[in-house]
Structure 1
Amino acid sequence: MNRSRVANLLGAGALAVAERVSAEAARAAGVSASGAAALSTLLVEPGIGVTELGARIGLSQPAAARMLDTLIAAGLVERHHPGGRGVRLTLTGTGRASAEKLLEARGRVLLELLEPLTDDQVHALAPALEALLAGLVENRRSEYVLCRLCDRQVCARCPVGEECRGYG
């Protein structure tokens, strides 16, 4: 086995998959790629603040605030100011529908990408991907960035989440 060749194939495949998933998710939701990540995050973590949301999707606080202004203007996200506490963010009904659409689109793209593989190849791919994802974990917060577009309902046992819990 030539590890350099496999690494090169992985790089090309990872880039192509990321671009297709990101583009289709954003298109389905009618937002930018970072907007799609924000909607997906707020779907499972309603009530987090701007800084926390930015950290979870890999944006600085100023960039997250600008992106949120766009989502709020589009009627997808609402800001709440609970008594004396910081701003909390939630999806509107339209925002929830957009988040669900983007997850459906993401899932559809990924299933289409698996079509050329046999059942045996898919079965062999799963543990390899789990190991690869676990190896990408750098700290407890890695789960938020690595899984920012994940469909949490599909992944009953998340290898990234399990690895993150090991960072105590």
Structure 2
Amino acid sequence: MNDSGAAAVNLLGAAGLLISGVVREAVTEAVGAGGALGEALIAIRDQPGRTADWLAAVLRVSQPGTAHLVRRLTEQGWVERGTARDGRSRPLHLTAAGEAVADEALRARRSALRRLAARLTSEQHAQLAAIAGALLGPEARDERCLARLCRLCDRDSCPHCPVHEGWQRAGER
């Protein structure tokens, strides 16, 4: 790899850390607690009725960690566990309070990312969208990967989601 390629790769890694940190800080502040609480709320908001096992796979959290997370979410009054269809796995749904906190977390995420994006020109915005689409689309190999990549997404902001389109293309193979 030439020097400019090495620099680009290194800068991509640094930018990823910057963006991840800014988003995590904004979501944590909005939720009032760190860890995976905000990610879990947004993931459940996006796909209500999924189980704790699904949430564990999306967040890449262990089974005991997920049990603790779901317990914290229910204790906060943000999540309700539905009736198990198979006798074991119970669907997760946000309460009205959980919806409000998830919405606030998404607003905080959007605001933090807009502050970063404000540093870019209109042309750079278009370039960034194209680059992000090229990086993200091929990663969506299955439904869980799709959910993992989009676990903090504001779906309304991205009507032509490259991750969803990549997942659809993966299913056609």
**TM interval, short-chain normalised:** over 0.9
Within-5 A mapping of 1:1-168 = 2-82=4-84, 85=87, 86-168=89-171
Compute the displacement of 1:132 (Å).
Answer: 1.2
Q: Would you say the 8 A contact 1:25–1:33 is kept in 2?
A: no
**C-alpha deviations, 1:122-162, integer Å up to 9, x for none?**
12221111101124334442111111000011111111111
Q: Percent identity?
A: 34
CA distance in 2, matches of 1:14, 1:51: 28
TM normalised by structure 2 equals 0.90
Compute the displacement of 1:28 (Å).
Answer: 0.3
**C-alpha deviations, 1:44-63, integer Å up to 9, x for none?**
21111110111122222221
CA distance in 2, matches of 1:6, 1:21: 22
CA distance in 2, matches of 1:148, 1:110: 15
Q: Would you say the 8 A contact 1:41–1:149 is kept in 2?
A: yes
CA distance in 1, matches of 2:84, 2:15: 45
SS at match of 2:66: helix
Q: Would you say the 8 A contact 1:53–1:64 is kept in 2?
A: yes
Paired letter, 1:23: E
Structure 1's 83 and 167: CA in aligned 2 closer, same or farther, altered over 3 A? closer
Structure 2: gaps (5+ residues): none
Structure 1: gaps (5+ residues): none
Paired letter, 1:63: G
Compute the displacement of 1:107 (Å).
Answer: 0.3
CA distance in 2, matches of 1:25, 1:126: 22
Q: Would you say the 8 A contact 1:140–1:167 is kept in 2?
A: no
Aligned residue pair count: 168
CA distance in 1, matches of 2:50, 2:142: 20
Q: Would you say the 8 A contact 1:23–1:33 is kept in 2?
A: no
CA distance in 1, matches of 2:34, 2:70: 11
Structure 1's 88 and 115: CA in aligned 2 closer, same or farther, altered over 3 A? same
Paired letter, 1:123: A
Q: Deviating runs (4+, > 6 A) in structure 1?
A: none
Q: Would you say the 8 A contact 1:51–1:60 is kept in 2?
A: no
